Structure 1
C-alpha cells in the first residue's frame, strides 16, 4: 500500500491526511502540536461522513493512520510528502533540510503554500527538484482543485509523477506553467477580498450581504462553469467577442478600488469581526464545517448527475464495476456509502433512497445478464411491474451499505428479484421486484434476446438451490 507523509497537521494538513487515508493510502503525520492527533481525528470524522458519499462505488479500504514524534520516521519510505507548516519561508527551508535527509530520493515533496513560488521554496535544498507547490483548497478532502506549480528545477518526470498521484486520489492538478506569487486561484480570491474590504469600509455592505451576493448569484455559476465560460454564455449567440465588445469598456470605469487596498485599522478589523460574529457566531466551527460539507456534497452530486464541472471529474474517477465470479449465491450489486443528501428530517435514509438503492441494484443486475446500455439502445429492456420494500432498520449518512441480489424467477418475459440491504452484517431492508421484459418500440411485453435469456436462466438455476429469503412474497403489514 502506498504511503504519504503529512508534515504539519493543522486545518490543511488534516485535510490532506483525510484525503489520502480515505483513498486507500497509509498516512504518517508529524506535528509537534500535542493537540494534533485530536484535531486530525475531528477533521477525519467529518471526512468519513462526507467524502465516501461522493462515490457511487465502494471506495478503497481505508489506509492506516499513524503519528510520529520524529520527522524522519514519518517520511521514511513515503512516496508523497505534503508540507503544510506555517507560511514562514525560513521555517519551510528548515523542514525541507530535515526531511530530505531521511526521505526517499524518488519521493515528491508538495507544499501547501498559498503564496511562495517553488523556486523560493527550493533555495538551499539538497535536492531542489523534489519540491513542488501543491496548493489545495479547504476542505482538502472534498474540493478537487490543487495548484501544481513547478520551477525549472523540476524534471518532467517529477511533474508527471505528481499529476498521477494527485489524480489518483481524486484531485484535479492544475499545472501552473509559470511561477507567480499566490499562483492563480488565490489571486482571484485576493481581488474579491480587497473589494469586499472597501465595501465594508465605505458602509456599502455587511459581511453577510457580501456573502449573499456570492452564494445566491455568481458563486453558483462559477462553481460549475468558471469565469470565462459563464461570460461566454452572457454574450448570447454572438459569443465571447460580443460580450467583451459590450462590457469590456466597463473595466475602464471607476467602479473598483482593486488597486488601492484599505488600511486594516483596528476599527475596520473590529467592524468586520463584529459583523461576522453577528452573521455566524451562533454556530461552532465544527457545525459550520458540517453545513459546508452538506452543501458541497449536495452541489457536487447534483453536478455529477449532469456529468458537468466537478461532477464530471467524480464520474470519471468512479472505478469500474466488478463482475461476479461466483453465481451460486446472492450477487453483490451495490456497495457504497450513504451520501449526506440521502437522509431526511428523521436523520436517517429517506424512504425514496431505499428504492433508489434497490433500483441501482436492479440496474446492475440487468447489466450482469447483458441488458446493458447497448442492448437497451437496440430496443429491449426490463420494466418494473411491482415492488415491495421492507424497512427493517435505520441507515444513516456515511454508512457503508451493500445490496445482495437473489433471483427467484428468471424465465420467459419475467425477472423476479429479491434484494437484501446490509450495513455490515446487519440487515437493514429488503426489496422484492417483479420485472417484465418489453420492446421499447411497441412498449409491450416481449421475450428477451437469447443471450440475456441464457445468462438469466443460468443464474436463476444456480439460485434455485438457495432457500427462499425471509420476507419474500410478503404483503404490506404481513410477514
Structure 2
C-alpha cells in the first residue's frame, strides 16, 4: 500500500496522558488530527488541558504559518474505545514492562488491523514489548522528547518482528506533522538519546554528591557553553570544528588519549540514598525560586521557540537543524493554505493573518522590534496573494508581485505573547499594480498599533520587468477590489514621512 495513504493521518489514539502522553495529544491535535484518549488518572482531563494550553501558546509564538483546524479531543472509558478507528495508537503508560505488555495486548486486540502502534518507552526494547502480541509487525518504539509538541525528534526503533513497511509508514506520518523520525539501526536498551543523557546524568550526580558544585552551577556550565553548541550542531560536528582545518582526525589524535585518563565515574553507580535525594531536592527548590512547574514549562517553551526560530534563519535563510525542519513544515502549511483558504467577509478589510509576538521578536526595550511589523505586513500581503491565486505554483511559473513602495506607521507597542491580527484593504488595482493598506491590531481590545501601505507590481521574473497579471488572478483581485470600493479610505493612506500636518513651522 502506498505510503502517501498514511500521511497525514486523521485519527489517532493516545493511551496515557501524562507529561509525554499529553505532549503527544497536543502534537496530534495541533496537526489537525482527531485524538481519542484513555487515561484512568482522576485528573487526566485537567492535566491534558493544561499541557494543550501551553502547546497552543507555544505554537502561537513559534510560527505564523496557517495551522490546520485543531483536531477534536475525546476522553474514553477504556483502551478499546480509544483505539476504535485509530490510524496511529501511541502508548505512553509508566515504564514497567509488565504494564506495557498488558496495555499493548489490549491495544493489539482492539485496534484496526492497519493501525500503527508506537510505544513512548524511554528504554525498553521493542522485541520485549512484542511478546504475546497477535500482530507484532506493526509495533515499534516511537520515543519522543519533552515537550513533544515543540521538540521534533522521535527515535523509531523496530523489534525483531517489526515489518519494514511499519517503519516507513511511521516516518511518513511524523514528517507530515512536522516531526523528525530517526531510525535506530539496531535495538538496544535506552536507544541513542537516553544512552547519552544517562551518561551525562550519572556523572552529574557524582559531581553533586562529591560537592564539586551545586545543581545551579552544573546547569550553568551546560547552558552557557556546550549546550548552546549542541542545539545546532550536535556532538560530532562540533568536535570536527574543534579539530581546526585538519578536522575530525586531528581532534581524535589530539584528544583521544584523554579517554584513558580517570576523569569520569561513568562505570560507578551513585547511591541515591535519602541524604543525596534531599540534597539535590533542596538545591533544585532553591534554583526554581518559587516558580511552578507550569511557569517553568512556559519559560522553557519560549526559549525553545527563540532557539528554533534563530535556527530557521541560519545557513543564509535556508535554515539549519530543527530550524530547517520548521521551515520545510511551514512551506507545506503555506502551500496547503493556498488550496484551503477559508471564506472571508469580502465587504470588510480581510483578516488574513493572526499570530502572536514571539520571544525572537522582542528588542532591548522589551517590545516587538520595528522590522517585525513589516514582517507581519509582508505575511498579510502573501496571504492576500495566495487568495487571488499567486501561490507557489504561480511563482514557480515565472510570475509574481513585487513590493516597490512601502510606508509604515508605528502607533503603539506590542508585548511578548500578545495576540496580533492584521487586516488588509485594497485601495486600487489595475492589470499591473496592486495598492493595499494593512492595519495591525494587538490584544483582546484590538488596539491599532501600526499601519502599512504598500504598492506592488506584477512582474515577469525571468524577464525582470512589469507585465499584466494572469486573467484568473485579475478576476479574483477585481472581485475583492469591487467589494472594498465602498469602504472608507484610510485617513493615513497617501501620507509621507514628515506629513505637513505634523511639521514644525520654521523659525
Give the TM-score taking structure 2 as reference length.
Answer: 0.81
Comparing 265-274 and 226-235, the one that deviates more: 265-274
Alignment correspondent of 1:207 = 215
Contact 2:89 2:115 in 1 (8 A): yes
Moved more, 250-259 or 86-95: 250-259
Q: Compute the RMSD of aligned alpha carbons.
A: 3.7
The farther-off stretch of 361-370 and 277-286 is: 361-370
| Corresponding residue for residue 449 of structure 1 | 466
Q: Does 1:4 align with 2:12?
A: yes
Q: Partners in 2 of 1:397 and 1:249 — Cα distance?
A: 49
**Following TM superposition, by how much is the alpha carbon of 1:405 offset from its aligned partner in structure 2, in angstroms?**
3.2
1:357 aligned to 2:397?
A: no
Q: 2:453 aligns with which of 424, 433, 458?
A: 433
Greater mean deviation of Cα atoms: 2-11 or 317-326 = 317-326
C-alpha distance 345-235 of structure 1, shift in aligned 2 (>3 A)? closer
2:329 aligned partner: 317
Distance in 1 of aligned mates of 2:173 and 2:487: 45
1:226 pairs, out of 203, 214, 234, with: 234
The one-character-per-residue Cα deviations of 1:166-200 (angstroms, maximum 9, x if unpaired) are: 22221111101101010000000000001111111
Deviates more, 1:417-426 or 1:103-112: 417-426
Deviation by residue 1:398-420 (Cα, 9 ceiling, x = unmatched):
74x65443332346997531124
Q: When the two structures are aligned, how many residues end up with a matched partner?
A: 468
**Cα separation, 2, equivalents of 1:87 and 1:33:** 16
Secondary structure of 2:59's counterpart equals helix
Change (3 A) 1:374 1:236: farther
Distance 1:243 1:344, change over 3 A: closer
Residue of 444, 466, 478 corresponding to 2:484: 466
The yes-or-no answer on 1:277 pairing with 2:293 is: no
> In structure 1, what is the Cα distance between the partners aligned to 2:96 and 2:385?
57
2:425 maps to which residue? 406
Compared CA separation, residues 477 and 175, structure 1 to 2 (3 A)? farther
- 1:57 shift after superposition: 1.3
Distance 2:500 2:278 in 1: 62
**Inter-partner Cα distance in structure 1 for 2:406 and 2:167:** 54
Question: For residue 353 of structure 2, what is the aligned residue in structure 1?
Answer: 335
Q: 1:411 to 1:104 in 2, by over 3 A?
A: closer
Q: Distance in 1 between matches of 2:134 and 2:473?
A: 63
For 1:184, the equivalent position in structure 2 comes to 192
Aligned to 2:403: 382
* CA distance in structure 2 between the aligned counterparts of 1:259 and 1:288, rounded to whole angstroms: 33
- Is the Cα contact below 8 Å between 1:200 and 1:207 reproduced in 2? yes
In 1, Cα distance between the equivalents of 2:350 and 2:29? 25
Structure 1: how far apart are the matches of 2:445 and 2:453?
21
CA 1:197 to 1:52, structure 2 compared with 1: closer, same or farther past 3 Å?
same
Give 1:237 deviation, angstroms. 1.4
Please tell me whether the aligned partners of residues 140 and 156 of structure 2 are also in contact (alpha carbons under 8 angstroms): yes
Q: Distance in 1 between matches of 2:357 and 2:40?
A: 35
When residues 155 and 339 of structure 1 are mapped into structure 2, their CA distance, relative to the original with a 3 A threshold, is farther
> Aligned to 1:431, what secondary structure does the other structure show?
strand
1:54 is displaced (CA, Å) by 2.3
- Please identify, of 23-32 and 124-133, the stretch whose mean Cα deviation from structure 2 is larger: 124-133
CA distance in 2, matches of 1:398, 1:117: 44
1:89 is aligned, of 87, 97, 102, to 97
Q: Is the 8 A contact 1:7 1:30 kept in 2?
A: yes
Is the CA contact (8 Å cut-off) linking 2:353 and 2:423 kept in structure 1?
A: no
User: 1:395 Cα deviation (Å)?
Assistant: 8.4
What CA distance in whole angstroms lies between the structure 2 residues aligned with 1:100 and 1:117?
A: 17
Distance 1:140 1:81 in 2: 15
Greater Cα offset, 430-439 or 63-72? 430-439
Distance 1:27 1:477 in 2: 59
User: 2 CA distance for matches of 1:69 and 1:422?
Assistant: 43
The aligned counterpart of 1:54 is 62
**SS of aligned partner of 1:129:** helix
- My pick for the range that moved more, 50-59 or 203-212, is 50-59
Maintained 8 Å contact 1:370/1:451: no
- Whether the 8 Å CA contact 1:15–1:140 is kept in 2: the answer is yes
Q: Cα gap change, 1:370/1:161 in structure 2, threshold over 3 Å: closer, same or farther?
A: closer
Distance between the aligned counterparts of 2:66 and 2:400, measured in 1? 31
- Alpha-carbon deviation of 1:208? 0.5
